[in-house]
Copies of this chain bind each other. A is one copy, B any other.
Amino acid sequence: MPQSGKHVTLKDLAAHAGVSRSTVSLVLQESPLVARHTRERVMAAARALGYVYNRGAATLRSARTATIGVVVHDIANPFFGAMVAGIDETLQNADYVSFLAGTGDSPARQQRLVQRLREQRIDALLLCPAENTPDALINTINTWGLPCIEVMRHVGEMPRGHYVGADIRTGLGRAVAHLVDQGHHRIALLTGAGHSSSDRERIAGYQHAMHEAGLAPDIRTGRNELTRCAGLERTLEIMRETSPPTALICHNDLMALGALLALARLNLTPGVDCAVIGIDDSDEAALSEPALCSLATHPHAIGQAAAELALACIAAPDSAPRRIVLDTSLRIRASADPSLYRLQESS
């Protein structure tokens, strides 16, 4: 059926269906103005000729691309994998399609990418900004009139535009409260170098929670590595101190899993000798040995929310900045609750 000749255009359709180009255009836009039988004739022609809508051409006139850009700092990170899946799901339902690109935390590459995407005339941008992104970037994007939603991270102390993230602060409150319930007093926070907004958020939330509980904060910033390996090494160091903490809250699940490994190597029992709580509740958490207690951040839901906000911004530009902060939930498991220890055995 498909023509092997050149491209079939709307003009060809018009000729084949015996109507004008304008009418065909209306049909393609599903306009209610056109009579039912005309629509059907045009649709039939489209099928017969193997017509393919040319979105680029439409864009040129109408300035809508049905396209959004997603820029994250680390594509390979499973958290972003899940987030991107959420974004994709929502966008597909709206018949949007998205560009995905990674910056590897380089502001320069980020700058180039944003420019590149602007040339593609994306309708909106979901940005999980690289560290040390200059404040100017967000302003610049705003002056372009390009709706931009910061996700998970934000440049500057407070998000200045639209923002979607997880309520780490309250979540850390829950984590600390749980540990206090379990009788812990020496609760340490293991995090990155403290430069990224995700570090700062964790530190602030932790400090607040510790203060509420009347405990002295014990913040262990590390290098910027947030990997299993970093968690392992850092924990080995810490647990060899003379009076080490009895509970560790880690920047993410990877580090927490590393911490569990470290405890195992030192022949300490996680959850008994030292409680460990991660952040993200990734797939690994529930299935590690022992199961890792983790603060669930729901990346999929965050992705969905961000995509929905983007669509809303496109529909109503220049709406007031919205800040969507999704609730987190503490998944209590053996690594921070000895009473659950090995219960799963019976499965």
Contacts and interface: CB of A to CB of B under 8 A. Distances in A.
Interface of A: 2, 4, 52-57, 59-60, 65, 67, 70, 75-78, 80-82, 84-85, 88-89, 92, 95, 97-102, 109, 112-113, 116-121, 140, 143-144, 227-229, 232, 254, 257-258, 261, 264-265, 283-284, 287, 289, 300, 345, 347
Nearest to A53: B119
A53 B101 CA distance: 19
A97 B116 CA distance: 8
Contacts of A119: 52-55
Given A56-B121, A92-B113, 8 more contacts: A52-B118, A56-B60, A56-B120, A80-B81, A88-B102, A97-B117, A98-B99, A254-B283
Contacts of A59: 56
Nearest to A7: B63
A264 B53 CA distance: 57
17 contacts: A2-B144, A55-B121, A56-B56, A56-B59, A56-B65, A57-B60, A70-B100, A75-B81, A75-B85, A76-B78, A80-B81, A92-B101, A97-B99, A97-B113, A99-B100, A254-B283, A264-B289
Contact of A258 (B67, B78, B261, B287): B287
Contact of A76 (B82, B116, B120, B265): B82
Contacts of A265: 345, 347
A80 B77 CA distance: 10
A120 B81 contact: no
Contacts of A113: 92, 97
Given A81-B80, A100-B100, A261 B284 contact: no
A99 B109 CA distance: 18
Contacts of A67: 120
A128 to B, nearest CB: 14
A284 B284 contact: yes
A340 B229 CA distance: 19
Nearest to A2: B143
Contacts of A140: 2
A224 B86 CA distance: 22
Contacts of A70: 100
Contacts of A85: 75-76, 102
Chain A to chain B: the 5 pairs with minimum beta-carbon distance, closest first: A100-B100, A76-B85, A81-B81, A75-B85, A76-B81
A257 B164 CA distance: 33
Contacts of A228: 283-284, 287
Contacts of A52: 118-119
B84 A75 contact: yes
B81 A77 contact: yes
Nearest to A300: B76
Contact of A232 (B57, B101, B284, B287): B287
Contacts of A289: 261, 264, 289
A284 B253 CA distance: 12
